Amino acid sequence: MPLQAGIVGLPNVGKSTLFNAVSNSAKAQASNYRFCTIDPNVGLVDVPDERLDKLAELVKPNKVVPTQIEIVDIAGLVRGASRGEGLGNKFLGNIREVDAIIHVIRCFEDENILRDEGEINPVGDKEIIDTELQLKDLESVEKKIQKIEKQARVGGDAKAKAEFEVLKRCQEWLLQGKNVRELGLAKEELPAIADLFLLSIKPVLYVANVDEGSMHTGNKYSEILQKVADAEGAQMIILNNSIEAQITEMEDPDDKAMFFEEYGMKEAGLNRLIRAAYKLLTLRTYFTAGVQEVRAWTIQEGWKAPQAAGVIHTDFEKGFIKAEVIGYNDYVKYGSEAACREAGRLRIEGKEYVVADGDVMHFRFNV
């Protein structure tokens, strides 16, 4: 199952419009009233990759298959969601299930689009959602603290004591109105809170939904939001969601090219969004390239060759013998697998090989 990035935000900020634009397998209803989206919409999204296109150009296969991620359109959150306001519990439960957050924030003025929170205030809008996630996390952390406190302080349980210390740090951090992802927990500390599935620990990508005139340069609202994102070490992308939705409705390549020229675009902004979401999930890509098919495969950063082989089929991992590996740049330079082999650029790697992003691979296995 592909990893999921959930689109979140206040009502009427353009979440469902963005989902409709980004998803190539589902269409979400986009309407101008609160809670238009009740059940989350899920769509599989192709990840644009120029390397896949280049390999296909060289190999000329019968089929080209991009890799995909899942994008989830989640109901709009309102102030008080952590206490069950609006669709709060359902909304927060849906966020808990995704691996990363795409946070859409309104950075445009339009009196025809409803807004509950007064004047346009991107940082204030961001903080509303942050606060609700933090409050829900605080509730989860404090429940576990109560559960293990006696065991940690009196029972002499070393594991419970270590977990208790991590939980107390999270509690203090959340009480300051900060997200757990910014706490900087060490890798060995994360198991202490893994069972809580905290909301504010998830990586986030901010999308500044701007007006048409600001889609290239941004505006005063997106500039403010960018400063906040930079302070968090988070990435932000500027889009006009309505324009992106129009692009996806175009089937004729010539029409699309004319549209790009008219709006001064080199590619759809959604391509930047999808690539950023892919990176946010710490995903990497390797390729298989043959006459029948050139295909991109998704793996987690740091995976070794047998794990990567298992993405194709579990038998590949179980019976892994070795991998034939060509670096992407070498493949493009020499133009074919045969030429890379002749030039000594095809490597034989074993079970401990950590797959590099862009590797072109062929696996040998025995079941």
pLDDT digits (tens, 9 = 90+) for 60-98: 999 999 988 888 887 655 555 445 544 445 567 777 888
Q: What percent of the chain has pLDDT over 90?
A: 53
Q: In this predicted structure, what is the pLDDT of residue 174?
A: 95
Mean pLDDT within 201-207: 94
Give per-residue pLDDT as tens, 92-146: 777 788 889 999 999 998 877 766 667 889 999 999 889 988 998 999 999 999 9
Mean pLDDT of the region 283-295: 96
Instruction: Output the pLDDT for position 7.
Output: 86
Question: What is the percentage of the chain residues whose pLDDT exceeds 70?
Answer: 88
Closest CA to 152 of 165, 143, 161: 161
* pLDDT score at 87: 43
38 or 147, greater pLDDT: 147
126 is in an annotated binding site: no
225-248, pLDDT tens digit by residue?
999 999 999 999 999 988 888 888
299-354 pLDDT, tens per residue?
Answer: 999 999 999 999 999 999 999 999 999 999 999 999 999 999 999 999 999 999 99
CATH architecture assigned to 4-56+63-118+202-247: 3-Layer(aba) Sandwich (3.40)
Classify residue 5 by burial, with Cβ atoms within 10 Å: 0-12, 13-18, 19+: buried
Provide the sign of the torsion angle of the four alpha carbons 89, 91, 92, 94, taken in this order. positive
**Where is 299: in which H helix or E strand?**
strand 293-300
12 is in an annotated binding site: yes
Q: Which two tokens stand for residue 51?
A: 């390397």
Phi/psi of residue 69, each to 5°?
-130, 165
Residue ranges of domains in the chain = 4-56+63-118+202-247, 135-196, 302-365
Considering only CA atoms, give the Rg of the chain: 23
By the 10 Å C-beta count (0-12 exposed, 13-18 middle, 19+ buried), 213 is classed as exposed
Q: How many CA atoms lie within 13 A of 254 on its CB side?
A: 0
- pLDDT for residue 179: 94
Q: How far is Cα 339 from Cα 347, in angstroms, rounded to an integer?
A: 13
Confidence band of 32 (pLDDT split at 50, 70, 90): very low
14 labelled ligand-binding? yes
- 280 pLDDT more than 60: yes
Looking at residues 271-287, what average pLDDT do you find? Answer: 89
Architecture of domain 302-365: Roll (3.10)
Q: Against a cut of 0.85, is the pTM above it? A: no
Is the pLDDT at 35 greater than 60? The verdict is no
Q: CA dist 164 to 74, 144, 199, Å?
A: 33, 9, 19
- Tell me what the pLDDT averaged over the chain comes to: 86
pLDDT band at residue 29, thresholds of 50, 70 and 90? very low
- Residue 47: the pLDDT is 87
Among candidate residues 19, 61, 56, the one with its CA nearest the CA of residue 40: 19
Q: Is 20 annotated as a binding residue?
A: no
